[in-house]
Structures are given as C-alpha cells and as structure tokens.
Amino acid sequence: MKGLTFVDRCRIKVFAGNGGNGASTFRREKYIPKGGPDGGDGGNGGNVILKATTDESSLLHLYYQPLQRAEHGGRGQSKQMYGRTGEDLYVKVPCGVEVRIEDSNEWVGEVINDGDELVVARGGKGGLGNMHFATPTHQTPTECTNGAEGEQKTLILELKSVADVGLVGYPNAGKSTLVGALTPAHPKVAPYPFTTLHPVIGTIEYEDYSKFHIADIPGLISGAHKGVGLGHDFLRHIERTQFLLYVIDMAGIDGRHPADDFKNLKEEIRQYREELLERPYLVVANKMDEAQAETYLKEFVERTGEQPLLISAELGDGLDELKKILKERLTSR
Ligand SMILES: Nc1nc2c(ncn2[C@@H]2O[C@H](COP(=O)(O)OP(=O)(O)OP(=O)(O)O)[C@@H](O)[C@H]2O)c(=O)[nH]1
Ligand SMILES: [Mg+2]
C-alpha cells in the first residue's frame, strides 16, 4: 500500500517454537559394551513475547511482517545431552497495544508502559529421552517422546496511544498548531482540513521537570460516526487520556458557528463511546486574535454555558495559563 506511514490496527500470526524430540540412544564406550540408555531430552520451544517500547509509534512494521516465529527447541542427544532451548522471539510494539484472538475476539492482554511484556504464544515442551524410561525390569528402553507443538495464534493488535491529554476538535481548529506551541513536537499545520491523518504524541514539559503527554488527533466532523471525513476510529487514541481539550475555532473561519461545532463534537464523542463525555475537560477558544472572535465568543457562552479559556495558538496567547490549568488538573505520572 503506497504511502502508508501509520497503522494502529493489524493482524499477525504468531508461531511459538516446537519442543525438540527426546533421543533414544545407548551408552557405547570401549570397556562398557552394555551401557544403559543415555538419550537426552529435547529443548523447549521459544515463546513469542510482545514487548512495549517507546522506540515504536505505530504497528506499521508488523503490517509488513505479519508472520512471527520463535525458534524450535533442539533434539536431545546421546550422552544425556539436552537439546538446545529455542530462543524466545521478542516482537517490539508501541506502548498501549491491546491484543485479542482474531476468531473468538478473546482478550489476551495489553502492554502499556515501556518495557511491559506479554507472552502471546507459548513454546512446546521438549520430549523426554530414553534415559528416563529405564526401570529395574526394563533396562534397555528405546522409548522416547516427541516434543510438543508450540502454540500458533492469529491475533489482532490494536494501538491505543498512551497520553494524558487528548485534543478534540474540527479540522482546521488549530489542534496541531497548539501541540506545536506547547511541546517540542512539530505536527504538520496547514490551512486546509484533515492535515493530521494520524495521531502525534507531544510532551509538555514544566520547569520542575514534570511532564505530560498530549495526543494530537485528526479532526472530527459531524457524521464522523457514519464514516464522514476520516470517520471516528482514531478516537481510540484519546480513550486512555485523563483529560480532554476541546479546541474550538472561535473565529468561525470555515463558516460554521463555534457553538454548533462544540455541540456536534460532543455528539460524535457520544456516538463513539458515551463514557468519554464524563471525562474531565476544558474548552479552549482558539484564534482569539481574529477580529470576529469576540462576537462569536459571546454567543458561544450564551448558547453552551461554557466558559472557555481564550487562546491564540498561533501567537502563543493564553498558553502559559493553559499549561498551568493542565498541571492543576492532571495527576503526574
Ligand atoms: N488566526 C489564527 N489562525 C490559527 C490559529 N491557530 C491555528 N491557526 C491556523 O489554522 C489553520 C489550521 O491549523 P492546524 O493546526 O493545522 O489545525 P488542525 O486542527 O490540526 O487541523 P486538522 O489537522 O486538519 O484537523 C492553519 O492555517 C493555522 O495557521 C490561531 O490562533 N489564530
Ligand atoms: Mg492537525
């Protein structure tokens, strides 16, 4: 698929390693013509383990490599030697990945923080060598067992970004401009809708070294839950946040009324997942540097009953106050 740069849902097939077979051998040495059974055990197969890392921000690499195999265990050897243990396969994923079995939708688990691990397929146990089967009445056993098969699963991975603050707003409201002004991240900004096509996580840092992560996501429009615009699936990236910022274009640059925008945004959130409406939030009135913004603001307050924080993301006005409010309302990690 040309131009694909971000994948937040993908299907992978994982194969844990098979256990190695046990050996059936007898000790044969010069002066010990009738040595006993000495076949060693097979090694265990390797596990497939997902590991969260901040080095990855998307599932793109797995989209292109949907088959992931861990190593098989080695066969047992004569002289009671065990087979080699198959190496575990670590599959790197971004922080915030949820895992389910494709067919049954059964929950497997999730990895949230950097370094979290989740075993998604267990390697098979190695088989037993014939040395285990000798008894006083059965001194030359030839039996040994085969290694067990490793687990094989088809999984659906879903990335839900890990951020403290989530931005919600119409396209062009200035969400990316705001993230660019609050953090060292530089999401693309442009005067046309749907500039942001996938989430970008920025980090707001304070002088006391505390920090918060903020998720810039694509714009939401009325009807998104029916697939209008970019749809609303990307809202999964604000599900894990503790706080929402509604970014409203208070200058009505694209010809809509800001109060309607706010109402429609809430409706789309409700359609996606109603609990998100319960999340603590703040409304920010952006583009207050534009002349018509004051008039819209008055009507906005009357119609919605909200008291937005006034900012201009472009000029940097009101951003210190915004950072202060976020710090007061968020619990630090
Ligand atoms: N006058 C004015 N323009 C602004 C302000 N903030 C952003 N803009 C402009 O609004 C346009 C859209 O800004 P973006 O930051 O790309 O908007 P967005 O909400 O990320 O848009 P999407 O990614 O398409 O959803 C750009 O032309 C910005 O320069 C502001 O405070 N005042
Ligand atoms: Mg944007």
Query: Using one digit for the tens of pLDDT, what is the confidence trace for 142-169?
Result: 999 999 999 999 999 999 988 999 999 9
Residue 77 and residue 212 in one domain: no
Q: Which atom of ligand 1 is nearest to the CA of 178?
A: 15
172 lines ligand 1 (CB under 6 A): yes
Residue 4 and residue 96 in one domain: yes
318 lines ligand 1 (CB under 6 A): no
Residue whose CA is at the smallest distance from ligand 1 atom 16? 189
CA of 181 to the centre of ligand 2 (A): 13
CA of 174 to the centre of ligand 2 (A): 7
Residue 75 and residue 95 in one domain: yes
Instruction: Decide: 78 and 84 in contact? Cβ < 8 Å.
Output: no
CA of 208 to the centre of ligand 2 (A): 29
Q: Residue 328: which pLDDT band, with cuts at 50, 70 and 90?
A: very high
Last residue of a domain, one of 125, 159, 193: 159
Dist. CA 150–CA 124, nearest whole Å: 4
Residue 318 and residue 226 in one domain: yes
Residue 125 and residue 32 in one domain: yes
Residue whose CA is at the smallest distance from ligand 1 atom 1? 287
Site to probe by mutation for ligand 1, drawn from 189, 245, 297, 322 as the one with most ligand atoms within 8 Å of Cβ, is 189
Q: Which two tokens stand for residue 305?
A: 């009953």
CA of 125 to the centre of ligand 2 (A): 51
Cα dihedral across residues 273, 275, 280, 284: positive or negative:
positive
Site to probe by mutation for ligand 1, drawn from 6, 176, 177, 200 as the one with most ligand atoms within 8 Å of Cβ, is 177
- CA R_g for the chain: 29
pLDDT at 332: 57
The percentage of the chain sitting over the pLDDT mark of 90, rounded to a whole number, equals 83
pLDDT at 270: 96
169-179 pLDDT tens trace: 999 999 999 99
Residue 49 and residue 95 in one domain: yes
Residue 40 and residue 94 in one domain: yes
Range of lowest pLDDT (193-197, 264-268, 294-298, 329-333): 329-333
Last residue of a domain, one of 92, 127, 159: 159
Residue 89 and residue 114 in one domain: yes
217 lines ligand 1 (CB under 6 A): no
Q: Residue 3: which pLDDT band, with cuts at 50, 70 and 90?
A: low
Residue 4 has pLDDT above 80, yes or no: no
Instruction: Decide: 126 and 147 in contact? Cβ < 8 Å.
Output: yes
Max CA-CA distance within the chain?
105
181 or 4: whose pLDDT is higher?
181
302-322 pLDDT tens trace: 999 999 999 999 999 999 999
* Structural domain boundaries enclosing 97: 1-159
6-39 pLDDT tens trace: 899 999 999 999 999 999 999 888 887 778 899 9
pLDDT at 34: 75
Q: What average pLDDT does range 63-67 have in this prediction?
A: 95
140 or 43: whose pLDDT is higher?
43
* Structural domain count, the chain: 2
pLDDT at 28: 84
Protein residues near ligand 2, an ion, with CB under 5 A: 175-176, 195-196
Average pLDDT score, the chain = 94
Last residue of a domain, one of 138, 159, 180: 159
Residue 36 and residue 182 in one domain: no
Q: What average pLDDT does range 80-100 have in this prediction?
A: 96
212-253 pLDDT tens trace: 999 999 999 999 999 998 889 999 999 989 999 999 999 999
pLDDT at 1: 45
CA of 73 to the centre of ligand 1 (A): 56
Residue 209 and residue 101 in one domain: no
CB atoms within 10 A of CB 251: 23
CA of 170 to the centre of ligand 2 (A): 9
74 lines ligand 1 (CB under 6 A): no
Residue 281 has pLDDT above 90, yes or no: yes
Confidence (pTM): 0.83
Give me the torsion for CA of 161, 167, 173, 175, rounded to 10°. Answer: -60
Residue 153 and residue 187 in one domain: no
Dist. CA 328–CA 319, nearest whole Å: 14
What is the domain-level CATH number for residue 318? 3.40.50.300
Residue whose CA is at the smallest distance from ligand 1 atom 21? 172
171 lines ligand 1 (CB under 6 A): yes
Residue 53 and residue 144 in one domain: yes
